[in-house]
Amino acid sequence: MRVFLTGSTGFVGSQVARELLDAGHQVLGLTRSDEGERLLLTLGAEPHRGDIEDPASLRKGAESCDAVIHTAFDHNFAHFVENCQKDARVIATLGAVLEGSTRPLLITSGTPMGSSAPGQVADEDHFDPAHPNPRVASELAGQALSQRGVNVVVMRLSQIHNPVKQGLVTYLIELARQKGVSAYVGEGLEHWSAAHLADTAHLYRLALEKHQPGARYHATAEQAIAARDIAQVIGQGLGVPTVALSKEEAAAHFGWLTAFAGKDMTASSEKTRTRLGWRPNGPGLLDDLRTGFAR
C-alpha cells in the first residue's frame, strides 16, 4: 500500500516509516523541513512538504494514498488541551478526504482512554466520550468519522520507549535533573504501562494490514510498572536521591506533570494480541532506562 504518514520524522513516526518500508509498503511522509526531507529520502520514503496546521497539505497527501497513518502530535504539554483540540481538527481533515471509501485512517490516542474509572485497567473495547483526559478529543473526532462510514482505527499508546526516549518518563528525568531529586507520589504504587518503540511500530503495521474497521488497539507490552520503581531507576541513573512526596507537595514539584504523576495508567493488550497476533519482544521500560543512563 501507499501510505500517507504524518509525524513521519518523529520518534514514533520515523520508526513506523521504517517498519512499513521494510514490509514493502510505500510511504509518503509529511515533513515541514529540509532536514526532514533528507531523513525521509535516506529511509527510502517520499517526502511531502506540509504541516499539521496546513489543511491543504494534509488533504493533498491523503488524496494520493491508499491509507493514512496519523502519528503527529504537538507535545508541548503546557498547551495540552489546545493541542488535543488541534489533533481533533487534523483527524477531521484527514477523514473528510477518505469519506466514501474503504481506505483506512489510523489515528493515535493514549491507553488511558480505555479506563472505565481511576485505577481500572484500560481495555480496548471501552471508550467513554466524557473521559476527563483532554486526549478524548482525538477519539471523539475518530468516532464522528466512523459514524459517517470512514474506516477509522485507533492506536492507543502506552509509554513508548527506547534507550533515548521513554514517553512521559523522559520529562520525569529532566525534572529530576533540574530539582536534584527523583520523586514519586505517596507510596508510589500507581502503575504505568509501556511498550518498546520497535514493537509499537510493528503494531501499527499489523493494524494497517489486519484491522477491523472501528477497532482500538493497545501498544502495551508491560501492563503495570510501579511509579516508585521508575523513580528509583531514574534516581540511580542520575545519582540523585529518590523521595516520596505528599499529594500537596506533588503539584509544586511536578508542575504540568502533576496531571500524570500519581495517576494509575495501566492497560491490557490481551485483545490486541489475540486479534492482530502481536507479540512484543523488545526490552522493558526499566531496562531501556538503565541502558540509556549507561550510554
Domain ranges across the chain: 2-158+197-219, 161-193+223-267+281-294
**Mean pLDDT, residues 148-153 taken together:** 98
Q: What are the tens digits of pLDDT across the range 254-277?
A: 999 998 998 999 999 999 999 999
**Mean pLDDT, residues 125-148 taken together:** 95
Q: What pLDDT score was predicted for residue 135?
A: 94
Q: What pLDDT score was predicted for residue 119?
A: 85
**Grid coordinates representing 283?**
526490552
**Grid coordinates representing 272?**
490486541
Largest CA distance in the chain: 57
Beta strands in 51-200 (DSSP E): 67-70, 104-110, 151-157, 159-161, 182-185, 191-196
Q: What are the tens digits of pLDDT across the range 208-226?
A: 999 999 999 999 999 999 9
Q: What pLDDT score was predicted for residue 76?
A: 87
Q: Please check the confidence at residue 77 and state whether its pLDDT lies above 90.
A: no
Q: Does the domain spanning 161-193+223-267+281-294 belong to CATH 3.90.25?
A: yes
49-82 residues labelled b (16+ CB within 10 A) or e (exposed): ebbbeebebbebbbeebebbbbbbbeeeeeebee
Just give the CATH number of 2-158+197-219: 3.40.50.720
- DSSP, residue by residue, 146-179: HHTT-EEEEEEE-EEE-SS-BTHHHHHHHHHHHH
- pLDDT category at 202 given cuts 50, 70, 90 is very high
**Mean pLDDT, residues 27-36 taken together:** 97
DSSP state of 266: -
Distance CA(150)–CA(138), nearest Å, equals 15
Q: What pLDDT score was predicted for residue 171?
A: 96
* pTM value > 0.85: yes
Residue in 193, 200, 258, 253 with CA at minimum distance from that of residue 226? 193
- pLDDT category at 162 given cuts 50, 70, 90 is very high
**Mean pLDDT, residues 127-145 taken together:** 95
Q: What pLDDT score was predicted for residue 266?
A: 97
Q: What is the dihedral of CA 23, 27, 31, 37, to 10 degrees?
A: 80
Q: Please check the confidence at residue 295 and state whether its pLDDT lies above 90.
A: no
Q: Which residues contact 79 (CB under 8 A, 6 or more apart)?
A: none
Distance CA(183)–CA(181), nearest Å, equals 6
